[in-house]
A = this chain, B = another copy of it.
Amino acid sequence: MFQSAEIGHRINKTKYREAVPALRAALLEAQAKLFEDKSTPVLILISGEDGAGKRETIHVLYEWMDPRFLSTLAFEDPTDEERERPAMWRYWRALPPKGRIGIFAGSWYSDPIRRRIKGKLSQKDLDARAEQINRFEAMLVNEGALVLKFWIHLTKDAQQQRLEDLQNNPQTAWRVTRWNWKRLKTYDKLQDVAGHMLRLTDTAWAPWVVVEGTDEKYRSVRIGQVIAAALEARETVAKPEVTERRTDTAVPMLAGSPIAPFLRVVTDGRNVLSTLKLDMPMSDKAYKQELAQLQGRLSVLARDPRFKKLSLVLAFEGADAAGKGGAIRRISAALDARQFEIVPVAAPTEEERAQPHLWRFWRKLPRQGHISIFDRTWYGRVLVERVEGFCSEQDWQRAYSEINDFEHELVDYGVIVVKFWLQISQEEQLKRFKEREQIAFKRFKITQEDWRNREKWDAYQQAICDMVERTSTGEVPWTLVEANNKNYARIKILRTLCERLEEALGPINKA
């Protein structure tokens, strides 16, 4: 959930000064309209790590918006009154009526996350709470509410830096307590728990907006822009919409959500791909050394007796000519041929088209002790099928959650799932295409279609960013591979794979 909020989003003073007046005007206008219509209550949840800037964000919202129609609802320890009723009673009491905006500093998420970190709530209980929250929020939205959930995220370093800054400033030092420093120690645990909770509750009807908190100007503008866009979108949705439905009743797109248009607001133009340094150096000599060493390590891991109870699914995605095949060959070279299968994925067969889109991948799952290497994967639906229009928007939107469910089922059973995106620059791709045309035995690899795909480069980049944002989970993260240099890419892939296997097998006894 947090990958795209760790890339150093920021905007400079000039841009900030340019953006704010228009943004304030948009917010005020939308708010006036909201009050006039009196048809929508708006709930804004401001959540996130300590010191990430929640307090400051609320302050900015009060400055930018009309405070007469805002209320802030802070939830401390429950009162007597509250303790004697079901847990959700306090939130029901605090719901804003239609036409008003309620800012929730702390919400129904705070208590389960806190208790899970303290170990007072089991994983299953947390999941049950997430499901209950999804139903609660679905009810609110069905009843007309707009629910905007922000999670302000800081990297561990950024959080430490921020606490230090606060402490060094005499005006803010009082806000830093021992408790804050203690929370920094549980940072990783919070990331795990919050990441999981956010993924489960990232629904079509109430999606999470994760905002990088380090740069105050970026944070404020980002949140303001999303609120303005969402309020504006609200006005246009009363229009009836023609949709093709399979049944007479709505089939939901469950958690792990589609991308609401108001989330597509661009604030500073940075994304997980644009911030990759694609030309990483690695000499042939260093490559050969490392390759031999890593292949040996992999070979030992695959023959480890503990692996017999596990299995491994490797997923390779990347633009044409990004080097998937070459990377796969460096892996398979280290394995026993009886143990692995390489599954090249092309257009589905007739038999496969008569089944749900994930069916053909379920067919190819490895038995225990075995390895399936997918050269292109179940992500086709949110990449090529999305960009080329081979499926409807609704189909690829719901695919994010179906894919997350699929991978979760695998991991839950004991399958190790490792997935790689190989990123090359447009120039590098062109160079490789031309090389392929020159080399006879590689010529079959380049077709007219490859040239056509190049034209949709930007659409693909957007699809990849969305894919990483929606499907890079704590259990199955995406590894983005800087692949302009094949040496570097292959080594990074092999090393990542070895590390993931070692992690799954537990501590290795060096014999």
A→B interface (CB under 8 Å): 38, 41, 81, 84-89, 92-93, 95, 97-99, 122, 124-125, 127-128, 131-132, 134-136, 138-145, 204-205, 233-234, 237-238, 240-254, 257-258, 260-261, 311, 351, 354-359, 362-363, 365, 367-368, 394-395, 397-398, 401-402, 405, 409-410, 412-413, 415
Contact = CB atoms under 8 A, between A and B. Distances in A.
A141 B253 CA distance: 11
Nearest to A258: B249
Contacts of A258: 249
18 contacts: A85-B365, A85-B413, A86-B410, A87-B413, A124-B128, A131-B131, A132-B405, A135-B405, A142-B394, A142-B398, A234-B247, A237-B245, A240-B245, A241-B245, A241-B248, A242-B242, A248-B261, A249-B253
Given A87-B409, A138-B254, A250-B250, 17 more contacts: A38-B354, A85-B367, A87-B413, A88-B409, A89-B365, A93-B362, A99-B354, A138-B251, A204-B249, A204-B252, A205-B252, A233-B247, A238-B244, A242-B242, A243-B245, A249-B253, A249-B397
Nearest to A362: B92
A412 B233 CA distance: 37
A205 B243 contact: no
A247 B241 CA distance: 10
Contact of A240 (B135, B243, B248, B252): B243
Given A85-B413, A86-B415, A359 B95 contact: yes
Contacts of A412: 86
A356 B143 contact: yes
Contacts of A124: 122, 124-125, 128
Q: 10 closest Cβ contacts across the A-B interface?
A: A252-B252, A97-B354, A86-B413, A143-B356, A204-B249, A92-B362, A124-B124, A84-B367, A98-B354, A84-B368
A97 B247 contact: no
A41 B351 CA distance: 13
A253 B412 CA distance: 28
A251 B141 contact: yes
A220 to B, nearest CB: 25
A416 B274 CA distance: 57
Nearest to A127: B128
Nearest to A136: B405
B246 A351 contact: no
Contacts of A409: 86-88, 132
B240 A241 contact: no
A242 B245 contact: no
